[in-house]
């Protein structure tokens, strides 16, 4: 049974919708923004066992979907390339990969991430491993993927989600075989983190080469 929101949480949702209205003013109309906010909230309430974090996550999920929608409706030749990192729980591998790409690309790549079965929180050991490299992913929260986000990505990197990973024609798909950091200690996660860094560096170099072609 879907969880329900308190009066305070509903107020947070309204405030989040207002922030999105301001952010996307001139790019998307108010009705579209409200529809995506409400739909994102509905998706999350169906999945969640508790209302904790739902207002914050709904805002982030809606923001990513709206960012993707802007890309789909714009001339992408004038926009930064985009990458979507997908795994099962969006709590370890995909969050580390997204963190590395944001860090290394310096704002030159639009980064998205998602999971087929999002966890409640990001893996604490993955957070600690990335912190050792000066990359802060403590504010990230696992979230599902959506059709808009997948379709808007120039490159979709999948990591262990198998048949659950979405496939749309026209996207470039890359599959990375990486160990799942879940249940591992910091010494065991460091090599996974470092392999992800190497792969992200290679992907970023490829993206930059393609952009110049």
The pLDDT score that the predictor gives to residue 1 is 53
Q: Which residue has the higher pLDDT, 79 or 133?
A: 133
User: Is the pLDDT score of 14 beyond 80?
Assistant: yes
Which value, to the nearest 10 degrees, does the dihedral of the CA atoms of residues 179, 184, 188, 191 take?
40
Listed in sequence order, the residues at least 6 apart from 118 whose beta carbon sits closer than 8 Å to its beta carbon are: 47, 89, 90, 91, 142, 143, 144
Q: Which of 165, 192, 196, 204 is catalytic?
A: 165
25 is catalytic: no
Among 2-6, 30-34, 35-39, whose mean pLDDT is lowest? 2-6
Listed in sequence order, the residues at least 6 apart from 12 whose beta carbon sits closer than 8 Å to its beta carbon are: 55, 56
Q: pLDDT tens digits for 156-186?
A: 999 987 777 777 776 799 999 999 999 999 9
Q: Which of 58, 87, 150, 196 is catalytic?
A: 87
List strands edge to edge, sheet with 110-115.
Answer: 110-115, 82-87, 155-159, 172-175
**pLDDT, averaged across the chain:** 92
Q: Which of 161, 200, 203, 207 is catalytic?
A: 161
161 is catalytic: yes
Classify the C-alpha dihedral 99-193-187-115 as positive or negative: positive
The pLDDT score that the predictor gives to residue 2 is 63
The CA R_g of the chain, rounded to the nearest whole Å, is 17
Q: pLDDT tens digits for 102-130?
A: 999 999 999 999 998 999 899 999 999 99
The pLDDT score that the predictor gives to residue 166 is 77
Q: What is the DSSP letter of 49?
A: S
pTM: 0.91
- How many residues in the chain? 213
Q: pLDDT tens digits for 41-85?
A: 999 888 877 777 889 999 999 999 999 999 999 887 778 999 999
CB 40, CB 145: distance < 8 Å: no
Average pLDDT over residues 137-142: 93
Strand positions, DSSP E, the chain: 82-87, 110-115, 155-159, 172-175
Query: Cα–Cα distances in Å, from 132 out to 129, 135, 137, 194?
Result: 5, 7, 11, 11
Q: pLDDT tens digits for 195-210?
A: 999 999 999 999 988 8
87 is catalytic: yes
Alpha-carbon 175 to chain mean position: 17
Q: Which residue has the higher pLDDT, 48 or 141?
A: 141
The pLDDT score that the predictor gives to residue 34 is 94
User: Is the pLDDT score of 135 beyond 90?
Assistant: yes
CB 211, CB 115: distance < 8 Å: no
Query: Cα–Cα distances in Å, from 110 out to 82, 84, 106, 107, 123?
Result: 4, 9, 10, 7, 23
């Amino acid at each position: 049974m879907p969880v329900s929101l308190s009066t305070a949480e509903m107020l947070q949702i309204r405030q989040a919708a207002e922030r999105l209205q301001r952010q996307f003013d001139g790019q998307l109309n108010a009705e579209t923004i409200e529809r995506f906010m409400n739909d994102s909230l509905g998706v999350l309430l169906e999945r969640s066992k508790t209302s904790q974090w739902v207002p914050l996550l709904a805002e982030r999920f809606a923001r990513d979907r709206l960012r993707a929608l802007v890309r789909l409706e714009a001339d992408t030749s004038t926009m930064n390339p985009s990458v979507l990192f997908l795994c099962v729980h969006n709590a370890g591998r995909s969050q580390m990969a997204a963190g590395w790409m944001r860090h290394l690309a310096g704002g030159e790549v639009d980064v998205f991430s998602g999971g087929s079965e999002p966890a409640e929180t990001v893996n604490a050991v993955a957070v600690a491993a990335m912190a050792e490299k000066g990359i802060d992913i403590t504010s990230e929260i696992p979230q599902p993927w959506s059709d808009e986000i997948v379709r808007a990505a120039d490159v979709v990197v999948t990591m262990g989600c198998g048949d659950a990973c979405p496939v749309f024609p026209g996207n470039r798909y890359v599959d990375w075989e990486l160990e799942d950091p879940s249940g591992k200690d910091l010494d065991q996660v460091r090599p996974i983190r470092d392999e992800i860094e190497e792969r992200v560096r290679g992907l970023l170099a490829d993206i930059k080469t393609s952009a110049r072609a």
